[in-house]
Chains A and B, each alone.
Chain A
Amino acid sequence: DSGVTQTPKHLITATGQRVTLRCSPRSGDLSVYWYQQSLDQGLQFLIQYYNGEERAKGNILERFSAQQFPDLHSELNLSSLELGDSALYFCASSEFQGNTEAFFGQGTRLTVV
């Protein structure tokens, strides 16, 4: 167990809908990362937050947004879902400074039908 918790584990929804994925980082970790893993694109960095602030952005679509709350948990919001959004979404957390390891959650498997 990495200490990073993601909910839900599985999500099936229809095209056009909106979903929210939740991530609770390891105790004490201030940095949260979101990744999308699909068969054709591999592991794509979406966005990173540190202590509530957005710090880095990757290949995140405008239909997607995220935030990190004062208690440091994070949510990834996906709207106007398309079939191609079906993927495994991982959250990871780490300390910000130093040569630190990122700890991954078990992922949320999103299926858009």
Chain B
Amino acid sequence: AQRVTQPEKLLSVFKGAPVELKCNYSYSGSPELFWYVQYSRQRLQLLLRHISRESIKGFTADLNKGETSFHLKKPFAQEEDSAMYYCALMIYNQGGKLIFGQGTELSVKP
């Protein structure tokens, strides 16, 4: 079964500290993975996708097929990074269904 797991509901760090939001997936095919961010229960916005290998707002994520993980990292957290972060998996053989993990709330304290 396809599944995305984000084991941490809440991650609290101090400003300037490194951040790692964990994401593990279960999928037998070739995964397409994304990170979305939601500020104050507004619309979800794409943060980054693994195929583009870009860094957005200082965040990076590397796909590790061996560990079936796609953890989101940032070396120095900022207060404005406080938000909900969702890891998502695109299932193309089912019409392009996009399934999300439960989300991790990141709280960056001053």
The segment from A12-20, A48-56, A67-75 that touches chain B is A48-56
B68 at the interface (CB under 8 A from A): no
CB contact list, B69-100 vs A, under 8 A = 86, 88, 90-91, 94-100
Q: Which among A35, A37, A88, A92 has the highest number of chain B CB atoms within 10 Å?
A: A37
Closest A residue to B9 using CB positions: A42
Closest B residue to A45 using CB positions: B99
Cβ–Cβ contact B95 & A101, under 8 A: no
Q: How many residues of A contact B (CB 8 A)?
A: 29
Q: Is the interface of B mostly helix, strand, loop or mixed?
A: strand
- Measured CB to CB, the closest approach of chain A to B21, in angstroms, equals 15
Cβ–Cβ contact B103 & A56, under 8 A: no
Residues in chain B near residue A96, CB distance under 8 A = 95-96
Please tell me which one of the listed residues A31, A56, A88, A100 contacts residue B41 in the complex, with CB atoms under 8 A apart.
A88
- Measured CB to CB, the closest approach of chain A to B53, in angstroms, equals 12
Residues in chain A near residue B100, CB distance under 8 A = 35, 42-43, 45
Pairs A–B under 8 Å by Cβ, sample size 30 = A2-B45, A31-B96, A33-B97, A33-B98, A35-B100, A42-B100, A43-B102, A45-B97, A45-B98, A45-B99, A48-B95, A48-B96, A50-B96, A55-B94, A55-B95, A55-B96, A55-B97, A56-B91, A58-B97, A58-B99, A88-B41, A90-B43, A92-B44, A96-B95, A97-B96, A99-B49, A99-B51, A102-B98, A106-B42, A107-B43
Give 15 A-B pairs besides A4-B43, A42-B100, A55-B94 with Cβ atoms closer than 8 angstroms. A31-B95, A42-B102, A43-B44, A45-B100, A48-B95, A55-B97, A56-B94, A56-B95, A56-B96, A88-B41, A94-B96, A96-B96, A97-B96, A99-B51, A99-B90
The 3 A-B pairs of least Cβ separation, nearest first, read A55-B95, A56-B97, A42-B102
B residues near A (Cβ < 8 Å) are 32, 34, 36, 41-46, 49, 51, 86, 88, 90-91, 94-103
